[in-house]
A and B are shown apart, each in its own frame.
Chain A
Amino acid sequence: MSTHSSRIAARIMVAPSVALLLLWMVVPLVMTLYYSFRLYRLLSPDRTGWAGMRNYTWFFQSPDFWLAMGNTLALVGGVLVITVVLGTLIALLIDQPVWGQGVLRILVIAPFFVMPPVAASILENLFMHPQNGLFAAVSMALGYEPILYLQDYPMWSVIAIVSWEWLPFATLILLTALQSLSSEQIEAAEMDGASAFGRFRYIILPHMMRAITVVILIQTIFLLGIFGEIYTTTQGGPGSASTTLPYMIFKQAIVAKDIGRAAAGGIIAVILANIVAFFLMRGIGKHLDT
């Protein structure tokens, strides 16, 4: 039971933290907006002034931009599909009582704790390398030419590497959901003569929907910003074949030292992330209510 004055007091008391949080979020955003309209190259300090929309038009006119947008969405979508589908299957598999279950689960989850550049280097040099890699050795043993993963299928390779890293995360969340499913329900369905697929389709899957939603939401946030894996393996190439939006911004900021363009790219990325978030929340967010 709160009185009018106590509510005011409460608001005054939380005001500093709210203000601080606002500052925390608004200041960098406003600065980025400001710089995105400025001519600002670190190495040419004599050329300054307002750029108008030039930094933005540069992005939209760049031949790489739409490719980078497509690649960013392909990366997010591809990894989501792979991790959710495989994650569900692995979770179902290791949910079965088997000998050494604990150790098995730790092994399955382990790749998540490998740092992204390390994971990318491992997969690039020990597996996908055309001379020294395991896949090359296998193809040669079978009498085939080694596949040049990073050169001929750069985007697929990046998706594979990122999926390898995020699969354990998805598995872990989905496994937890699976374990909270009461076995009585399954047994009852079994006695009623429901097939294995039927049990999965009508009992297990609906039960896991919330967990799947969480996996999709959390992963999307992180996958939109994937950078380290591309930097270590393909450097956005060959050409621009595996350039994503974050990588394009990195190149403007760090290689070209063009702060104006990089800021404009940052704003575009923020808008893209919001659009994706909007559709995600509308499309699958409703599963969170149940």
Chain B
Amino acid sequence: MKMTYRALLGASVAACLSGAAMAETTITVATVNNGDMVRMQGLMDDFYAKHPDIKVEWVTLEENILRQNVTTDIATGGGQYDVITIGTYEVPIWGKQGWLESLNDLPADYDVDDLLPAIRGGLTVDGKLYASPFYGESSFVNYRKDLAEKAGITIPDAPTWDDIKAAAAAMTDKDAGIYGICLRGKAGWGENMAFLTTMANSYGARWFDENWVPQFDQPEWKAVMTDYVDMLTKYGPPGASNNGYNENLTLSLQGKCAMRMDATVSAGSLTDPAQSEFADKVGFALAPDAGLGKRANWLWAWSLAVPASSDAKDAAKTFINWATNKDYIALVASKEGWRNAPPGTRTSLYANPEYAALPFAKMTIDSINAADPTKPTVKPVPYVGVQFVAIPEFAGLATSVGEIFSAALAGQKTVDEALAEAQTLAVSEMTDAGYIK
């Protein structure tokens, strides 16, 4: 009896010891509920097979709520997450604040030089990579080839705004419920202001001059807003001031938008016969320019980063290396086909002949490469970011400006009133925040 006790005791001590030797590290990963991230969670068997000592817990949230949670956690040093999913807006700000752990020490097989230069630039502060891109996107024009043919027009691969206006006019058939162009009108820094900031870049307008003085009182912004309101009022769907990314994508999938300018990442849905009746009739073109040498395309990457407050940094980096490595892209392709591979992060993906054969691959990479976060517009600017200004105050300010511009689109304000109001608001906020002395 006594012997059995001892044996049991010994066995359990041994079990404890061996358990301690293979200590499991648990990391908490906060991510957004987009298709590509949900797919990643389905492929975790591969990760566990390679790293049995790391356990991953998921917190999957809708974009706005994720942003809200992660921001609060990191700003208050909560230390709730070991890996967070953030965008190109947050990375430069948080990197500078010292809130993120540098990823310069990822292993060699991560192959940092394979990252697309534009994306890598957007995630680097002072030579340090602070986040690893999971998927990247720019914006481009998608249109219905059958309607263009019917209207007897061709849309060039690299159109100007005049081409776009002419095409929108030719294809609009409101009685048939076909609208020439769908653009974002819903207020928000990530909605209408993302689009309008890129359009402004191509028109030579900018948010701030070198001394952080807002520029809405300049003629370039007047030209942008006049054309924007004009195009959407004449050729856009009714109620455009309420349409954001999702609303316009739905209208496009229903075939109601002859043309739309939005994120490259929607190409997957547009060309998917299961989602769109016009899957084989979709044409793509680069974002337009106004002859000033800048195209109206943005640059965004959902990226994984490690907060400085994490207590499992090594395990977090191991996970990030797995999720954003070339091998991961190959894994998705082998299991779910190339169309579903996370786009827009690595040169090697676009060198792959199978991927390059997809109808949107070349346009996507050309659009991403055309964006330069360090020189977003024609004139010099004191900020980094293509469709945003990488300062903490931008999200609040641009959302308020977005509301004013949305009201102008709805016809509640004239373009002049809206611009004057935006200028007053921006000057007051920038003064309050200490940028304007």
Q: A44-B433, A257-B75 are in contact. Are A238 and B68 (CB under 8 A)?
A: no
Partner of B395, one of A47, A146, A237, A257: A257
Say if the beta carbon of A148 comes within 8 Å of chain B: yes
Interface centre among A145, A239, A240, A252 (most CB of B within 10 A): A239
Say if the beta carbon of A45 comes within 8 Å of chain B: yes
Are B251 and A255 within 8 A (Cβ)? Answer: no
Residues of A within 8 A of B187 (CB): 235-239
Chain B residues numbered 171-193 whose CB sits less than 8 Å from any CB in chain A: 177, 186-189
Question: How far does the alpha carbon of A129 sit from the alpha carbon of B241 in the complex, in Å?
Answer: 12
A45, chain B: closest CB distance, angstroms: 7
Q: A42-B76, A257-B75 are in contact. Are A239 and B396 (CB under 8 A)?
A: no
Question: How far does the alpha carbon of A130 sit from the alpha carbon of B182 in the complex, in Å?
Answer: 14
Are B256 and A241 within 8 A (Cβ)? Answer: no
- How many of chain A's residues have a CB under 8 angstroms from any CB in B? 32
Q: A131-B177, A257-B71 are in contact. Are A43 and B407 (CB under 8 A)?
A: no
Question: How far does the alpha carbon of A198 sit from the alpha carbon of B238 in the complex, in Å?
Answer: 49
Partner of A234, one of B97, B177, B242, B393: B242
Say if the beta carbon of A199 comes within 8 Å of chain B: no
Residues of B within 8 A of A236 (CB): 187, 403
Stretch of B19-27, B142-150, B309-317, B409-417 lying at the A interface:
B409-417
Of the four ranges (under 10, 10 to 19, 20 to 34, 35 or more), the interface on chain B belongs to 35 or more
Residues of B within 8 A of A145 (CB): 238
Question: How far does the alpha carbon of A45 sit from the alpha carbon of B93 in the complex, in Å?
Answer: 12
Question: How far does the alpha carbon of A237 sit from the alpha carbon of B406 in the complex, in Å?
Answer: 8
Say if the beta carbon of B196 comes within 8 Å of chain A: no
Question: How far does the alpha carbon of A145 sit from the alpha carbon of B403 in the complex, in Å?
Answer: 26
Residues of A within 8 A of B237 (CB): 130-131
What 0/1 readout, one digit per residue, does chain A (139-161) give for beta carbons within 8 Å of chain B?
A: 00000011010111000000000
Question: How far does the alpha carbon of A150 sit from the alpha carbon of B237 in the complex, in Å?
Answer: 14
Residues of A within 8 A of B239 (CB): 129-131, 148, 150-151
Where chain A touches its partner, the secondary structure class is: loop
Residues of B within 8 A of A207 (CB): none
Interface centre among B251, B400, B410, B413 (most CB of A within 10 A): B410
Are A255 and B396 within 8 A (Cβ)? Answer: yes
| 19 pairs from A and B in contact (CB 8 Å cutoff) | A42-B76, A44-B433, A130-B237, A145-B238, A151-B238, A151-B239, A151-B242, A151-B410, A234-B242, A237-B403, A237-B407, A237-B410, A238-B410, A239-B187, A239-B406, A239-B413, A251-B399, A255-B189, A256-B396
New A-B pairs, 14, CB < 8 Å, besides A151-B410, A241-B410: A42-B71, A131-B237, A151-B238, A237-B186, A237-B242, A238-B187, A238-B241, A238-B409, A239-B407, A239-B412, A252-B396, A254-B64, A255-B396, A257-B395
Question: Could you list which residues of chain A lie within 8 angstroms of chain B, going by C-beta atoms?
Answer: 41-45, 47, 58, 63, 129-131, 145-146, 148, 150-152, 234-241, 251-252, 254-258
Among all A-B residue pairs, the 9 with the closest Cβ atoms = A239-B407, A256-B396, A43-B392, A238-B410, A42-B75, A130-B239, A130-B238, A238-B241, A148-B239
